[in-house]
Structure 1
Amino acid sequence: MTRVRTVLGDVRPGELGLCDAHDHLFLSSAQLPGQELNDASAARAELHAFRRAGGGAVVQWTPYGMGRRAADLPRLSRAAGVHVVCATGLHQAGHYLPEVVEGLRGRLAEVFVAELTEGIGTSGVRAGLIKVAGGFHGLDAHARWTMGAAAEAHHATGAPIAVHLELGTGALDVLDLLCGELGVPAHRVILGHLNRSPDLVVQRQAAESGCWLAFDGPSRANHATDWRMPDAVRALAEAGFGDRLLLGGDTVTAGARSVDGGPGMPYLLRRVRPRLADAVGAELVDRILGVHPGQAFGVDWG
């Protein structure tokens, strides 16, 4: 039976409510010094703010070794009344010390499977997805290694694979590798950040594979998301791919939290949702937020 694996246990897909399909409560990286998401009180306040905005679930894409704080997630989820899904996986090599990456050689898929089925460390929290990352307009050796391990873990568990696309690029290379060479069904792949490279042709080609397209993160100066996204979503819907879409907030720094003066998680429901509804209708937007996440992250865990 299909279930979404949350930090409080497996739930039916229809129980998620309105879902932020790509975000972060905790995250740390050498590439973002001094901007870590590592404050549990702020994370709790952000979840409460999302709940007050109407949110019911958050999928945290923070992977292995980037400060997930898995042991804190059940308490925060329970206190806020918001479902939280946690990730395993591995990001680009630049986010880790070299010795961390080398320590995973030969056992990466084993780590992913263990975190999906047994739990993350001693927390007892089981991951509900695998997060990996591509490169800028291509895949380097690290990306191919991590995606190979992700595919192996998927075949062992059925877990979905969520992919960070660097500046929204490389989508077709990712699909060629995961779905072509490695045999992962396209509907088990979620491509993140396609909106950061507003190429309608590539977006449609990716959608034709059957994968999920995640439009995630409010606009920055170099990310033409908010003002390009409604046109992209409308084009995909008109082409028959409205059922392949997800929405997320992708809060990656402390200053981006709503409780610290940024857009944060509530922005997805306060600003993105009505703007998108003007373009494609409230019914489709409500399905994207309330139905599609359960389909994308739901797994028959056995």
Structure 2
Amino acid sequence: MAEIQTVRGPVDTADLGATLMHEHVFILTPDVHANYPEEWGDEDTRVADAVQRLQKAYDAGVRTIVDPTVVGLGRYIPRIQRIMEQVPINLVVATGVYTYNDAPRFFSYRGPALNEVLGSELPDPMVDMFVSDIRDGIAGTGVRAGMLKCAIDHQGMTPGVERVMRAVAKAHLATGVPITVHTHPGEQSGLEVKRVMCDEEGVDPGRIVLGHSGDTTDCDHISALADAGFVLGMDRFGINLDTTFEARADTLLEMLRRGYGERMVLSQDASCYIDWVDPNVMAFLSQWHYTHLFEDVFPYVLEHGATQEQIDTMLVDVPRRFLEGA
């Protein structure tokens, strides 16, 4: 078997077990917390709460979590290390940049941004940063990234999104580390991922999870993406503001009926704390947590025709094969 990098070091993929392919520990805006620390509160309290929530996930059967928290989402590995010293879950961390529009201002006058000014083709420093996170470790912590992450949302393929996406593709080709992409299936942005990453940059679609594919009920569209070779992230169970529990679960059931159990992975895109959402709104998201799949979704889909074997395939077998590159 192959090995996958986790916060506590390499783990044999045979030992990954039940794997949630898209969850976060924290999603933060560091500039806000640095200047308005009352928003974050007490560090020890936040850490203890995260330990409790992750332990609950482990007790429910989760053995591995992929956390695609990258630049733009508040990644801070020392805090994550402190938490994972207290929880037996394998946590795979990621490298990349999260944006729907522009690349971070840090890159405004570096690399390809200067091509037109200098009249030459400059390499993108993002690529070296991502590769270093994978090969050498993140910020001197020794923790190596086991996933690459970028995003495209309803704004489409903006220049900043395209730049990040191409850098992620190049880092993947240099290292073999797989990719997860935040997508907007309502805008069929998976087709843009295919154009840029696969058709133009040469990434095998089988090494890419198209995140949030379950945000749509258009099973014809996501079936076509699965047929193209992508892995579909049915990974936002519990986020029912613009949809319903039944719509998400019934889409999963329909995709299983069509025979795509081998092309889907599962998650909730939950976190222990996210500062993007007003606490008053969080009150309407009572199912948005790490064990919603186990407590609510699996009983529903089993009652409506899914089998335990299909659940195990999506929860164990597909993540293992994807992460090991099989």
Return the TM-score normalized by structure 2: 0.82
Measured in 1, the distance between the counterparts of 2:170 and 2:16 equals 27
1:99 to 105, 113, 127: 105
Q: How does 1:276-291 map to 2 (within 5 A)?
A: 276-279=301-304, 280-291=306-317
Does 2:30 correspond to 1:4?
A: no
In the alignment, does 2:220 pair up with 1:201? yes
Contact 1:187 1:210 (C-alpha < 8 Å) held by counterparts = yes
Q: Any idea what SS the aligned residue of 2:73 has? A: coil
- Per-residue CA deviations over 1:258-297 (Å, capped at 9, x if unaligned) read 9x97631121222222223334211101221122211122
Counterpart amino acid of residue 122 in structure 1: G
- In structure 1, what is the Cα distance between the partners aligned to 2:321 and 2:107? 32
Amino acid at match of 2:307: G
Return the match for 2:53 from 46, 58, 61: 46
User: What letter corresponds to residue 140 of structure 1 in structure 2?
Assistant: T
Q: Relative to structure 1, is the Cα distance of residues 229 and 32 closer, same or farther in structure 2, using a 3 angstrom cutoff? A: farther
Q: 1:281 to 1:262 in 2, by over 3 A?
A: closer
Q: Computing the radius of gyration over CA atoms, which structure comes out larger, 1 or 2?
A: 2
The match for 1:245 is 264
Judging changes above 3 Å, is the alpha-carbon distance between structure 1 residues 241 and 262 closer, same or farther for their aligned structure 2 residues? closer
SS in 1 for 2:245: coil
State yes or no: 1:108 paired with 2:126. yes
1:36 and 1:242 map into 2 onto residues whose CA distance is 40
* Residue in 2 that maps onto 1:86: 93
Bigger RCO of structures 1 and 2 (CA < 8 A, at least 6 apart): 1
- Bigger Cα displacement from structure 2, 57-66 vs 228-237: 228-237
Residue of structure 1 aligned with 2:69, choices 62, 85, 91 = 62
Partner-residue secondary structure (3-state), 1:218 = coil
Distance 2:20 2:32 in 1: 23
Within 2, Cα distance between the matches of 1:230 and 1:120?
A: 37
Matched position secondary structure for 2:157: coil
Q: Is the 8 A contact 1:6 1:86 kept in 2?
A: yes
Q: For residues 110 and 288 of structure 1, do their structure 2 counterparts lie closer, same or farther at Cα, with a shift above 3 Å needed?
A: same
What do you get for the CA RMSD once the two structures are aligned? 3.0
CA contact (8 A) 2:96 2:130 kept: yes
Cα distance in 1, alignment partners of residues 105 and 140 from structure 2: 22
Partner of 1:265 in structure 2? 290
Identical pairs, percent: 27
1:102-158 Cα deviation digits (max 9, x unpaired): 376430011110101111101111010001001316311111111100110011111
The correspondence for 1:232, drawn from 251, 260, 272, is 251
User: Which amino acid in structure 2 is aligned with residue 292 of structure 1?
Assistant: V
Q: 1:168 and 1:19, CA in 2 relative to 1: closer, same or farther beyond 3 A? A: farther
The amino acid of 1:102's aligned partner reads S
Q: Secondary structure at the match of 1:290?
A: helix
Q: What is aligned with 1:21?
A: 21
TM-score normalised according to structure 1 size? 0.88
Q: Which residue matches 1:148? A: 166
- Give, as a single letter, the amino acid of the residue that structure 2 aligns with 1:150: V
User: What are the residue-to-residue correspondences of 1:25-36 with 2, within 5 Å?
Assistant: 25-29=25-29
SS state of the match for residue 27, structure 2?
coil
Query: In terms of mean alpha carbon deviation, does 218-227 or 112-121 score higher?
Result: 218-227
Determine if contact 2:127/2:167 at 8 Å carries over to the other structure: yes
Pair 1:120–1:214, CA change in 2 (3 A): same
Determine if contact 1:135/1:166 at 8 Å carries over to the other structure: yes
Residue equivalent to 1:179? 198
Within 1, Cα distance between the matches of 2:149 and 2:244? Answer: 22
| CA distance 1:30–1:266, shift in 2 (3 Å) | same
Q: Which has the larger displacement, 159-168 or 23-32?
A: 23-32
**Residues 101 and 160 in structure 2, CA contact (< 8 A), matched pair in contact too:** no
Q: Which amino acid aligns with 1:298?
A: E
Q: Specify every segment of 5 or more residues in structure 2 that has no aligned partner in the other structure, as ranges.
A: 112-123
CA contact (8 A) 1:14 1:294 kept: yes
Aligned residues: 298
